[in-house]
Amino acid sequence: MNDRIPALCGLTVVELVRLLDRGEVSSTEITRAYLNCIRERDLQIHAFLEVFEEEALAGAAMADQRRAEKRTLSALDGIPVAIKDNMVMKGHLCSCASKMLADFRSPYTSTVVAKLQAAGMPILGRLNMDEFAMGSSTENSAMGVTRNPWNLEYVPGGSSGGSAAAVAAGMTPVALGSDTGGSIRQPASFCGVVGVKPAYGTVSRYGLVAFASSLDQIGPLCKTAADAALVMNVIAGYDAHDATSDGALQANFTTDIKKGSAPLFGLCFGLPKECFGQGLQEEVKDALLHAAQRLKALGAEVKEVSVPSLPYALSAYYVISSAEASSNLARFDGVRYGYRAKEYADLDELYRKSRQEAFGMEVKRRVMLGTFALSSGYQDQYYLKAQQVRELLRYDVAQALTDCAALLSPVAPTPAYRLGEKTADPMEMYLGDIYTVPANITGLPAVSLPCGLSSSGLPIGMSLMGARDSLPTLMGAAACYEQSEKVNAGLHPYDFTEGSERK
Ligand code: GLN
C-alpha cells in the first residue's frame, strides 16, 4: 500500500467514528491522512482554494485531547470537514470564487461554520465553486476550474463542484455545499457521492453569501447517506440570526437509518411522468428505472404520478433566482468592501468600473436578466408570473406527495460532460437543472445518491424529494438503497486499498 494516501481516506464518516471510538486511530492521524491526500491529488483536481493545514491539525490535536479526557463535543468530534467558499469564517478569506471578493476577509463566522467548530470538527479548507454559486460546472470560477476525479477531462458539476470533487477524491470525508437550484445535488451526482438539500429553513443561512435568498440552503456532501445524516444533526437547527430559520424542522436525521431491516416496507415512491421528456439521456433513464426496481425489491411501492407544472419550473427558477441575485449583488459596488476599480472620474464610474472589472460573464448575465425581470412594465410579465408558477408547482408537488413518501427522479438529464462542452451555450447549461430546481422553488428537502455508472464510467445519480419534514425518511430510504445496491455503493474513482494509482 502506498503510505502517502492511506486507506483512511477511503473510509466513510461512520467508519472513521468507529475507529476513533475504539481508540484505533486519532483525529490527528485522520486529519494528516486527508491533508496528505489533498497534497497528492489536488494539483490535478483543484478542488481547494485554500488549505488550513496548521489550524486543522491544531483542531485535531484538541479533539484528541478531549477524547482522552472523555469530554467529546459531539458524535463527529475530530472528523475533518471542508467548506464551500461562500460560507464565512472569522479572519479567513471568503472569495465566492470571484475577483470581487478575492481579498475579502470575514469579520465574523457563519452559523454553520460555528456549528462545525462547536461539534469539534477540524476545518480543512475552502472549496472551489462557480462564481457566487451561479453555474452547473464550476467552470465559472474566477480561480480556475475543478476537475472530476472520475475523469479529469470532465466537469465535476456545480456550483459546489469543489465540494463534490473533494469528497469523491478522498480529500475530505465531509464537505458542505450550498444549493439554490441544485448546486449540492447535481455535483454530488456527477462525482458519485451523496448530496443533501435540506428543506428551506433547516440550516441557518447566516454568513452564507446570498445568491437567491428565498432558494438558498446549505447541506452536506459525503460518501454515504448515513454520513450525511450525521452531519445534518450537527448543522441543522433554529438560528435567531436567520429570519427564515424554522425551529419546527429540528430533528434527528439518523432515526430512520437505525431502523435496520426492511425500512422501505410500506413506503411509496412516485415517478413523475413529466421527468421522462425530451433531453433525458437513455442511460440515465435506464439507471433510474433500475433503481425503481431495486426499491420495489426492498419492499417499497413505485408508481407513476403527475406534476403538470414541472415543465415550467426551470423558467420560473431562472427568473426568480436572477431577480433575487440582482438585488443581493447590488451590495458589491466598490465602496463598502470587495474590489474597487483603480481609476474613476466620479462615483458613477466607480460603481460601474468596479462591477465591470470584478464580476465574471455569468454573474453579469444574471444581474442583467434579474434587473430586466424586475423593471417596471416587465415585472408583471416575468417576475410575478414566475411567482405564480412557483405557487402552482407547490400545489402540484403537494398533490403528488399526498400518497407518496417521495418523488423519485433523475438528478440531471446526463452524466458529467467534458470541460468546455457547454460553456459557449448558457441555455444548454441551464437546461441541465430541470430536475433539481423544483426542490428549491417549493422549499422541500431532496437527496441525491449514486445509482449507477454510465458506459463511459461516469456516475449517475437519482433524486428523492419529499414533504417538508420528510428528510429523516429520505435519509433512511437512501441508506437502505445504497446498502443493498452493488452497482455503485462504496465505489470510488480511486482504489484506496491499492494506493494512489488511478484505476
Ligand atoms: N445551476 C443553477 C444556477 O446556475 C443552480 C445554482 C445553485 O444551486 N447555486 O443557477
318 CA: nearest ligand 1 atom? 10
Nearest to 370 by CA among 323, 325, 331, 405: 323
> Which protein residue has the closest C-alpha to ligand 1 atom 4?
135
- Please report the pLDDT score of residue 398 as a whole number: 98
Cell match 448558457: residue? 426
Mutational test site, ligand 1, from 98, 180, 208, 411, max ligand atoms within 8 Å of CB: 180
Within-domain flag for 245:
yes
Instruction: Check which CATH number belongs to the domain holding 452 and give it.
Output: 3.90.1300.10
Ligand 1 pocket, 320 CB below 6 A? Answer: no
pLDDT at 265: 87
Q: Residue 450: left if φ>0, alpha if ψ -120 to 50, beta else—which one?
A: beta
121-130 b/e (C-beta count within 10 Å ≥ 16 → b)? bbbbbbbbbb
Atom of ligand 1 nearest to the CA of 178: 9
Q: Is 384 within the bounds of a domain?
A: no
How buried is 282 (Cβ within 10 angstroms: 0-12 exposed, 13-18 middle, 19+ buried)?
exposed
Catalytic site residues? 84, 159, 183
Q: What is the pLDDT of residue 5?
A: 66
106 touches ligand 1 (CB under 6 Å): no
Count: domains in the chain: 1
Q: Is the CB of 157 inside a 6 Å radius of any atom of ligand 1?
A: no
Q: Is any atom of ligand 1 closer than 6 Å to the C-beta of 179?
A: yes
Q: What's the average pLDDT block by block, 10 residues per block, for the chain (503 residues)?
A: 70 97 98 97 98 98 98 98 98 98 98 98 98 98 98 98 98 98 98 98 98 98 97 97 92 83 84 94 97 95 97 97 98 96 97 98 98 94 97 98 97 98 94 97 98 96 97 95 67 56 40
Question: pLDDT value at position 496?
Answer: 59
Host domain of residue 181:
4-256+269-309+395-491
CA 26 to ligand 1 center in whole angstroms: 38
Q: Whose CA is nearest to atom 5 of ligand 1?
A: 181
**Is the CB of residue 96 below 6 angstroms from any atom belonging to ligand 1?**
no
Domain membership of residue 354 (yes or no) is: no
- Residue 409 domain-assigned (yes or no): yes
Looking at the domain assignment, is residue 281 inside a domain?
yes
Q: What is the crossing angle of helices 225-235 and 13-21, to 10°? A: 70
Paired strand residues for 462: 410, 449
Pocket test for ligand 1, best of 132, 159, 326, 437 (most atoms within 8 A of CB): 159
Closest ligand 1 atom to residue 211 Cα is 9
pLDDT at 29: 98
Distance, in Å, from the CA atom of 35 to the CA atom of 80, rounded to the nearest integer, reads 10
Q: Using a 6 Å cutoff on CB, does residue 441 contact ligand 1?
A: no
Q: Is residue 8 part of a domain?
A: yes
Is the Cβ atom of 180 under 6 angstroms away from ligand 1? yes
Measure 155 CA to ligand 1 centroid, in angstroms.
15
Ligand 1: does its nearest atom lie under 6 Å from the Cβ of 182? yes
- Whole-model pTM? 0.96
> Is 273 inside a domain boundary?
yes
Dihedral-angle region of residue 381 (phi above 0 means left; psi in -120 to 50 means alpha; beta otherwise) = alpha
- Alpha-carbon gap, residue 79 to 28, rounded angstroms: 10
Distance 447 CA to ligand 1 centre (A): 16
Domain membership flag for residue 262: no
